[in-house]
Copies of this chain bind each other. A is one copy, B any other.
């Protein structure tokens, strides 16, 4: 794995987008009613805010903002699309943590939503955030051609649905033997669905908003796939080598479940080598953007080297 130190400039940029995303989500999750809304039940709003305004790196919105910046897309439009993507990410964590799913007690060092509230509230908060994502991504404040916005909306649905994140979570549970015998796990396919599809969406969102050429779209698609796989391998490595305090959740969860991961498949050294190859692939994909691809290049490194 590369040992390149991330520049202060990159970290500031990442933090700025995290702050802007947090502020935008706080506004979108205010008690103010939208047109055609009847009421926003207080407990549901509190639960949603508990889960989605808990800080975090906001990596997915950052990918949207930076892939959009390559094409000069206005930052506000990209932030909205990023906020929609973050709603999907937050809902998926809430539902995955449920007792019927991963039964997790901690998330980012705090009680998971169903622990802090209750299971019914957590199910509905997840449903509400998933739905809110499609409310946000169709808003007129995303000043793009209506056809482009429809494409973007459909791409988000595809990345999140049966053949994307939700399907990946199902395969993951099947691989744990949750529905009878353990089903064989294709680690690469599982990753592409469960975590890869949303990260890839973050990268192609900029291409869609920026009305990229086919070649540019394909470059960001390739980049997004490489980054997504590097992200998952880093995750699997952290589960083996990471520190519970930095992770905000227990390490060793995969081993405890006897899960097939990139690390069990490639070994620690093999997994680290693979990350290096993926970073090279990401760099190569971005080459057509020249200097405009620098931040995305750094983002891939950040993803691969993160400690939590």
Contact = CB atoms under 8 A, between A and B. Distances in A.
A121 B153 contact: no
Q: Is the interface of A mostly helix, strand, loop or mixed?
A: helix
Interface in A19-60: 33-41, 43-45, 48
A48 B162 CA distance: 10
A162 B101 contact: no
A18 interface: no
Contacts of A206: none
Contacts of A162: 37, 40-41, 44-45, 48, 128, 131-132
A166 interface: yes
A163 B45 CA distance: 10
A157 B128 contact: no
Interface in A129-165: 130-132, 134-135, 138-139, 145-147, 149-150, 153-164
A35 B157 CA distance: 12
A261 to B, nearest CB: 18
B131 A161 contact: yes
B120 A173 contact: yes
A294 interface: no
Contacts of A77: none
B134 A153 contact: yes
A119 to B, nearest CB: 4
A123 interface: yes
Interface residues of A, number: 64
A65 B29 CA distance: 34
Interface stretch (A9-17, A189-197, A272-280): A189-197
Interface of A: 33-41, 43-45, 48, 91, 95, 98, 100-101, 118-121, 123-124, 126-128, 130-132, 134-135, 138-139, 145-147, 149-150, 153-164, 166-167, 169-171, 173-174, 178-179, 189, 192-193, 197
27 contacts: A34-B163, A36-B158, A36-B159, A38-B163, A38-B164, A38-B193, A39-B163, A41-B170, A43-B179, A44-B162, A44-B167, A44-B170, A45-B162, A48-B162, A95-B123, A95-B124, A118-B178, A124-B173, A128-B166, A131-B160, A131-B161, A134-B153, A138-B157, A145-B146, A146-B149, A146-B150, A150-B150
